[in-house]
Amino acid sequence: MGCQHCGGLGYTVEKTGEVSPHIPYTEETYKEPCECWLEEDQKKQSSF
């Protein structure tokens, strides 16, 4: 069901900086809305 680009989260996450083997995620992440989420959002708005 979920978009393969964002995994169904609705946004893509770009990890920045170096990833420590002890820390699964970096402190800073950049979230960008995925196309599938934008399309879903437009469908919701048009249904109102």
Residue 2 lies in a domain: no
Could you tell me if residue 29 is inside a domain?
yes
Let me know if residue 39 belongs to a domain.
Answer: yes
Say if residues 25 and 16 touch (Cβ distance below 8 Å): no
**Residue 36: inside a domain, yes or no?**
yes
Confidence at residue 36, expressed as pLDDT on a 0 to 100 scale: 76
Can you give the pLDDT at residue 18? Answer: 59
The tens place of each residue's pLDDT in the chain, 48 residues long, gives: 467 777 777 777 766 665 556 655 555 566 777 777 667 667 777 765
Q: What pTM does this model have?
A: 0.33
Q: Number of structural domains, the chain?
A: 1
Quick check: helix, strand or coil at residue 8? coil
Structural domain contains residue 3: no
| Structure-token match 């169904």, residue found | 8
Domain that holds residue 38: 11-46
Give a yes or no: residue 6 inside a domain. no
CB–CB of 41/11 below 8 Å? no
